[in-house]
Amino acid sequence: MNKHAAAGLAAALLCALLPQASLPAPTDFAAATRSLAHDIFKQLIEINTTDSVGSTTVAAQAMAQRLLDAGFGKSDVVVLGPNDRKGNMVARYRGKAGSTLKPILIIAHLDVVEARREDWTTDPFQFVEKDGYYYGRGTQDMKDSDAIAVADFIRMRKEGFVPDRDIILALTADEEGGKFNGVDWLLKNHRDLIDAAYALNPDSGTVRTDRPPAVEFEAAEKLYADYQVLATSPGGHSSLPTPDNAIYHVADALAVLQKSPFPFELNAVTREYFKQMATIETGQVAADMRAILNTPPDPAAIARLSRDPAWNSTMRTTCVATMFSAGHALNALPQRADANVNCRIFPGTSQEQIRLELVKLFNDPKLSVRTRNSAGEVAAEGTDRKAMAPAPLSDDVMHALRSVSAKLWPGAPVIPIMEVGASDSVYTSNAGIPSYGICGVAIDRDDERAHGKDERVAIDSYYKGLEFYYLFLKALTTAAG
Ligand SMILES: [Zn+2]
């Protein structure tokens, strides 16, 4: 279904819900929603929400005000957080009175990664429209989805739509870093405000339109972990080298790491992913995808697919050197070398288990391998924490997702993925709230600019994503589905 047809359907739905007289004409309504979504998106991009100097509180308050202005009750919209700069907004869209169904929760982070003006073509904190794209920090990750959720809440409310259960929207702090992760904080301090049957997190999942089109949603994700690989040596004058050199110890270990991929693994989600991808890929790639699902899997097929970084990371734990610092003078033997190894751990294995694997792999008693947290603090041992448990592919969610996707992207398969990065879903999932990464904003595979420079989203994709969440939330919360 194209956008105009989708707008027509929306108009049909709302006609069934409200007396005709209170409605603007459908085209006006679509235009008004589009204009509202534009203004909210612009407002969010232009509020700096970086950890260094920004404030998620300012953004949270602005979104709360939007909802209050649209008629949401004061007690249903709150801004709260651990300090002045790390506020979160929680809004409750009331469902049918007396509903026994547990609410649906949407989590979406307000904070963005740092962006320097001199690195960008445009000002990252100005909302710029250019060549069919919206530019600005957060246009992909993830102020697009924050704005879409708020605009759709307002649109549904203006139509008088009453869902069959409450829908909760939590816009949160510190997903990208910082010490006050909003989802974690809300779960620990205000669980009642956000408790739900399941969570939707538009931070992951996407629609691919460049290659064989596909609607990808996250049902599993890897665990993020950093390790410090450290060596110390006596040092001395560089004219008198000795074999015990901290830099060589660490460099040798990193060279071993580079040549030692972790073993191939599959789980229910990645198995389904490759099974479905094999039907839309062609030739050798499709054959390889089928071959890795065999028992035993074909090693040559694994090797070929591993050349694609995304598929490689979907098939195994990955660890890679990301930082290195060593030495103290040009003409002195080093006394210390310190590398950071960043790992993305396959579900089922803990941070500590991978630390022990690295110790075994390096096999050098001169090295210490310790874990490092996001604040840079090192600890001798890792935790037993594992990645989020893969979410069940429940009928309710799958049915709504498939039917809405079929309307907006006819013929595109709906494919579960394991996110190779990490999101706040780990908190909701570990708190017993199954979590799905679902986002209707299409991004080309080669135009991933999240965290990078000149971040942008195609204007058409943004408005289609707006339509997607509107239809999806309605499908999830309407008895007829
Ligand atoms: Zn994000």
Distance separating alpha carbons of residues 134 and 458, to the nearest angstrom: 6
**More confident position, 138 or 389:** 138
**How far, in Å, from the CA of 32 to the mean position of ligand 1?**
28
**Residue 194 CA to ligand 1 centre (angstroms):** 19
Q: With 90 as the cut, is the pLDDT of residue 242 above it?
A: yes
Q: What is the pLDDT of residues 216-226, one digit of tens each?
A: 999 999 999 99
> What are the backbone dihedrals phi and psi of residue 425, each rounded to the nearest 5 degrees, phi first?
-60, -25
- Is pLDDT above 90 for 63? yes
pLDDT for the residue 9: 31
What percent of the chain is predicted at pLDDT more than 70?
94
Ligand 1 centre and the CA of 208: distance in Å? 18
Q: Which stretch, 170-174, 210-214, 272-276, has highest mean pLDDT?
A: 170-174
pLDDT of residue 396: 87
pLDDT above 70 (res 15): no
Which of the 8 DSSP states describes residue 134?
A: E
Q: Report pLDDT for 255.
A: 98
pLDDT of residue 13: 33
Residue with tokens 């509107």: 470
Kindly compute the dihedral angle of the four CA atoms of residues 424, 429, 431, 434, in this order, to the nearest 10 degrees.
130
Distance 142 CA to ligand 1 centre (A): 5
Question: What's the gap in Å between 478 CA and the centre of ligand 1?
Answer: 29
How many whole angstroms from 345 Cα to the centroid of ligand 1?
19
Centre of ligand 1 from the C-alpha of residue 407, in Å: 27
Which pLDDT score is estimated for 3? 27
In sequence order, the 6+-apart residues with CB closer than 8 A to the CB of 269 are 219, 220, 390, 416, 417, 418
203 Cα: distance to centroid of ligand 1 (angstroms): 5
CA of 44 to the centre of ligand 1 (A): 14
Protein residues within 5 Å, CB atom, of ion ligand 1? 141-142, 203
At residue 321, does pLDDT exceed 70? yes
Q: Which of 28-42, 254-268, 292-306, 351-365 shows the lowest mean pLDDT across its residues?
A: 28-42
* pLDDT attached to residue 481: 45
Q: Determine the distance separating the centroid of ligand 1 and the alpha carbon of 290, expressed in angstroms.
A: 32
Using pLDDT thresholds of 50, 70 and 90, give the confidence band for residue 27. Answer: low
Q: Are strands 104-109 and 167-172 parallel, antiparallel or unpaired?
A: parallel
Q: How far is the CA of 229 from the centre of ligand 1 (A)?
A: 28
Distance 141 CA to ligand 1 centre (A): 5
- Give the residue, 78 or 279, on which the prediction is more confident: 78
* Distance in Å, CA 121 to ligand 1 centroid: 22
